[in-house]
Chain A
Amino acid sequence: MKIPIIAAELLKFGELWNLGINDLIREIGSKTLNAAGISSKEIDALYISNAFSAKANNKSLLNSIAFEELGINNSVCISSGDASGAVAIREAANSIMSGKSKIAMVIGVEKVSDVKSNDMALLSSDMIGSSEYFSGATVQSQFAIITRKYFNDFGIGAKNLFFLTAAKHRNAASNEFAQYNFEIDEEKIGSSQIAADPIRMLECASYCDGAAAIVMCNEGNEKRFKGKIQGYFLGGSVANDQLELAKRGSITTMEATVKAAKEAYKITRLNAGNIDLMEIYDFVPIAEVIAVEDMGFAKKGRGIKFVKENTKKINLSGGLKACGHALGATGVRQAVDVIKNLEGKKARYGLAQALAGTGSVSAINIFGNKNA
Chain B
Amino acid sequence: MHRKSGALYTRKKKENYGLAGSIKNVHGIIESFTAVYNAPSGFEKHVPYILALIALDNGEKVTAQVVDSKNIVIGMKVEPCLRKMYVDGDEGIIHYGTKFRLVK
- Mark interface residues in B13-46 (1 if CB within 8 Å of A CB, else 0): 0011000000000000001111111111111100
Residue A131, interface by CB 8 Å: yes
Contact of A148 among B33, B48, B65 (CB under 8 A): B33
Give which listed residue, B34, B43, B52, B65, contacts A196 with CB less than 8 A. B34
Total number of residue pairs linking A and B with CB closer than 8 Å = 109
Answer yes or no: A296 CB below 8 A from chain B CBs.
no
Q: Contact at B62–A246, with CB atoms within 8 Å? A: yes
The smallest C-beta distance from B88 to any residue of chain A, in angstroms, reads 13
* Contact between chains at B39 and A149 (CB < 8 Å): no
**Contacting residue for A137 out of B35, B61, B63, B99, CB 8 A:** B63
Question: Hey, which chain B residues are within 8 Å of A119, CB to CB?
Answer: 41
For A197, the chain B residues whose CB sits under 8 A away are 34-37, 48
Type the 1/0 row for A123-164, where 1 means its CB is closer than 8 Å to any CB of B.
001000111111111101110111111001000000000000
Is A194 located at the chain interface by the 8 A CB criterion? yes
Bound Cα distance from A353 to B9, whole angstroms: 37
* Distance from A158 Cβ to chain B, minimum over Cβ atoms (Å): 12
Say whether chain B's binding surface is mostly helix, strand, loop, or mixed: strand
B15's nearest neighbour on chain A, judged by CB, is A131
Any A CB within 8 A of the CB of B53:
yes
A interface SS class: helix
B102 interface residue (CB < 8 Å to A): no
Q: With A145-B51, A145-B63, A244-B63 as given contacts, are A140 and B33 in contact (CB-CB < 8 Å)?
A: no
Q: How large is the interface on B (under 10, 10 to 19, 20 to 34, 35 or more residues)?
A: 35 or more
Q: A118-B44, A135-B63, A246-B53 are in contact. Are A196 and B15 (CB under 8 A)?
A: no
Residues of B within 8 A of A152 (CB): 32, 74
Per the bound structure, the CA–CA distance linking A144 and B51 in Å amounts to 10
Q: Does B85 contact A (CB under 8 A)?
A: yes
| Chain B residues near A145 (CB-CB < 8 A) | 32-34, 51-53, 63
A131 to B11, CA, bound (A): 13
Task: Note all chain B residues with C-beta closer than 8 A to A246.
Answer: 53, 60-63
A125, A131, A244 interface centre (most CB from chain B within 10 Å): A131
> Given contacts A146-B32, A149-B32, A245-B63, are A135 and B38 in contact (CB under 8 A)?
no
Q: Is A247 an interface residue (CB 8 A)?
A: yes
Q: How far is the CA of A199 from the CA of B36 in the complex (A)?
A: 10
Contacts of A195 in B (CB 8 A): 37-38
Instruction: Give, as a whole number of angstroms, the nearest-CB distance from B64 to chain A.
Output: 5
- Nearest-Cβ distance from residue A197 to partner chain B, whole angstroms: 4
Which of chain A's residues has its CB closest to B38's CB? A195
Check: A34 CB closer than 8 A to any chain B CB: no
State the CA gap A136–B2 with chains docked (Å).
13
Contact A247 B51 (CB under 8 A): no
A142 near B38 (CB under 8 angstroms)? no
B1 at the interface (CB under 8 A from A): yes
Residues on A with C-beta less than 8 A from B64 are 135
Cα A148 to Cα B64 with chains together (Å): 16
Query: Of B39, B51, B85, which is within 8 A of A121 by CB?
Result: B39
A interface with B by C-beta (< 8 Å): 118-119, 121-122, 125, 129-138, 140-142, 144-149, 152, 193-199, 201, 244-247, 251
B interface vs A, CB < 8 Å? 1-2, 12, 15-16, 31-44, 48-49, 51-53, 60-65, 74, 85-86, 95, 97, 99
Q: Can you give 8 A-B contacts (C-beta < 8 A)?
A: A118-B44, A121-B39, A135-B51, A195-B37, A196-B36, A196-B38, A201-B38, A245-B63
Please list the 10 inter-chain residue pairs (A to B) with the smallest Cβ-Cβ separation, ordered nearest first.
A144-B34, A149-B32, A246-B61, A197-B35, A121-B40, A136-B43, A196-B34, A145-B32, A195-B38, A132-B63
